[in-house]
A and B are shown apart, each in its own frame.
Chain A
C-alpha cells in the first residue's frame, strides 16, 4: 500500500510471537471439557505474528542500524516456534519462561521486559488465533504508556513519524503518531516469509535468552469448552423451486 521509505538510521523493533495450534487442527478437549487437548497438535507461529515479523524485516532492511528482537511468553515447548522466528529473520529471541494463563499475564510479562529496552516500534499480530483476543497489543500500550493501534491494515514510517491505516466499520481511518508505538498487524501489512536454509543455519548461532517470569495473578480463566452445536444435515432445495427457499427462510429460519 505505502511505498517503503524508512528514512532512519536506527530502528529497534520488538516482535511478539505467540505459539498457536496449526490453523487446520481439529480442536478437541480433555479433562471433562475444561482443557484444550494438545495431543497430536502441530504448533506454529500465530499467522498474524508472521506478518508482523515480515514487516519488521522489511523495515530493518531499509535502515542502516536496525535490530529485531522476537519475544514469546511460553514454556520450553514453544522453543521451536521462537527459533523459527530467528530462522525467518529476527536477530535475537527472548523466551519468558511461563505458560501464558491470560492476556493480562502475557502483557505484564512483556511490558516488564520491554520497559527498559527503549524499542522504537513494538509489533504484534492483530490477534492470536487460539483464544481470539485482540487484547495483548492495547494492554501492552497501556502498560508502557505509548499509543497503540490494535488492528492495522498498513503503515509507513518516515523518520520519527508513523502513518497507520486502521480498519473501521465500513471503511478506514488514517492516523499519524510519533514513535514509539505498538501496532497489531492484520492481513495486507506484509507478506509472511518462509525460512530458507541459510536462515535456518544462521538461527542456530543467534542468541535465545530465557528469562524467568515475574509473579502475576491472571485476572481471567477459561473454565470450560464446548464444540459449537452442529447444524444437522443441510436441507437441499431443488434449483427449480426457489420459492421453497424463501418460504423456509421466512417461516422456519425466520430470518427474512
Chain B
C-alpha cells in the first residue's frame, strides 16, 4: 500500500502547489502508516526532484520521454494510473490546478476510483472509507464527501494545505511505462505565459479591483500595490468584459475561484457572483466609497472611502512598513 502524489512541474521547475501536494500526500500517508511516493513527468534536474524528499516523499518515479515534453492529458493520465497500480496506491493525490482538473477524472476512471475534486482539509480515514471536505454551491456551502471505493483520488486546492519541510531524502527512479499511441491524440501548439506575474490561483495575496476604478489607466496603482505585497492582481467580471484587464484575471462564479490568505477588494461592490469566487479567502479587506456596499458584510476589515485617495496612502504606508 502507498499514497501516490502526482507532482506537476512548469518547464522543469516545481511550483508551490507541487510542494503543497507532496506535503498533503505525506500527511495522508502518515494516517495510513505508509509511504508517500510521487510520479513526475518531464525534463527535470535531479536536484529539483530531490527537493521532494524534504517534504516527505520517499520515492520519486521520474518519467522522461521525448513525446511528453509538453502536456498530453491522456498519456499523463495513463502514466499516473500505471504508477498507482505499480505502487499499489490506495490514494492518489493531484493538485487542483487547470491540468489537474483534466487529469484527475481520467485517472479515477481508469482506476474505478471515487474522486473528490478540490479538497480543502486533511481527510479522515476509517477502514475503507475516506471523508473529506470541499466547497460546494459556488462557495455557499462546505460539503463532506465520503469515498468507499478501494482506490481513491483526491485533488487538493492550491493554498489549502501548507507545504511542510520535514527533512528527508527521496530515492529517484526512472519510470518507463508503456503508453499507447492512442494516448497521443492532442498536440500542444503554443504556450503563452506571463512569466513576470504571480499566478493568480496560487497566490497567497491577491489585490483585486472593480468598476469603481473607472478606467484601465488607473490599474497602475493596483499593480504597484500588488508588487509591494508580492501579490497577484485580479478583477471583477465587468472589468474584464470591458477589456480593461485580461480575462485570466476575472474572479468569481464565471471566472477563477481563489482562496488566498489575503484578498483586497478595491472598488468592487461584492455581488453574489463575485463572492462565489473569493469568499473562501482567509482574510478579506474591502475598500469602497459606499458604506452600504454588500462586500462589507463578508469582509474582515474595511475602509469606507475613495480608492484614489486610499490606495496611494496604503502604498506609501506599506513601503514604510516593508522597509522596517
Cβ-based interface call for B115 (8 A): yes
Cβ-based interface call for B44 (8 A): no
Say whether, besides A249-B262, A255-B261, A220 and B114 are in contact (CB < 8 Å).
yes
Within the complex, which residue of A138, A148, A235 is in contact with B301, where a contact is CB–CB below 8 Å?
A235
Q: Are B146 and A242 in contact (CB under 8 A)?
A: no
Cα distance A29–B194 when bound, in Å? 42
**A226 contact set on B, CB distance < 8 A:** 141-142, 144
**B197 contact set on A, CB distance < 8 A:** 170
Cβ-based interface call for A171 (8 A): yes
Q: Are A170 and B199 in contact (CB under 8 A)?
A: yes
Cβ-based interface call for A234 (8 A): yes
Cβ-based interface call for A65 (8 A): no
**B247 contact set on A, CB distance < 8 A:** 153, 187-188
Which B residues between 277 and 312 are near A, CB-CB below 8 angstroms?
279-280, 282-286, 296-305, 309-310
Query: Which segment, of A19-27, A112-120, A203-211, faces chain B?
Result: A19-27
Cβ-based interface call for B147 (8 A): yes
Instruction: Count residues of chain B with CB under 8 A from any CB of chain A.
Output: 99
Cβ-based interface call for A151 (8 A): yes
**Among B136, B191, B199, residue most surrounded by chain A Cβ atoms (within 10 Å):** B136
Within the complex, which residue of B10, B102, B143 is in contact with A169, where a contact is CB–CB below 8 Å?
B10
- Main secondary structure, interface of B, reads mixed
Q: Are B310 and A221 in contact (CB under 8 A)?
A: no
Which B residues between 124 and 153 are near A, CB-CB below 8 angstroms?
131, 134-149
Cross-chain pair count, CB within 8 angstroms: 261
Binary contact track A113-152/B, C-beta < 8 Å → 1, others 0: 0000000000000000111111111110111011111110
Within the complex, which residue of B77, B131, B141 is in contact with A27, where a contact is CB–CB below 8 Å?
B141
Q: Are B117 and A225 in contact (CB under 8 A)?
A: no
Q: Are B255 and A187 in contact (CB under 8 A)?
A: yes
Query: Which segment, of B34-42, B61-69, B105-113, B213-221, faces chain A?
Result: B105-113
Q: Are B199 and A249 in contact (CB under 8 A)?
A: no
Binary contact track B252-270/A, C-beta < 8 Å → 1, others 0: 0111010001100000000
How far is the CB of B149 from the nearest CB of chain A, in Å? 5
Q: Are B229 and A256 in contact (CB under 8 A)?
A: yes
Which 6 A-B pairs have CB atoms at the shortest separation, nearest pair first? Answer: A219-B114, A171-B193, A239-B305, A138-B105, A170-B199, A142-B109
Interface residues of A (CB under 8 A from B): 21, 23-24, 27, 29, 36, 47, 102-104, 107, 129-139, 141-143, 145-151, 153, 163, 166-178, 181, 186-188, 219-228, 231, 234-239, 242-243, 245-246, 248-250, 253, 255-256
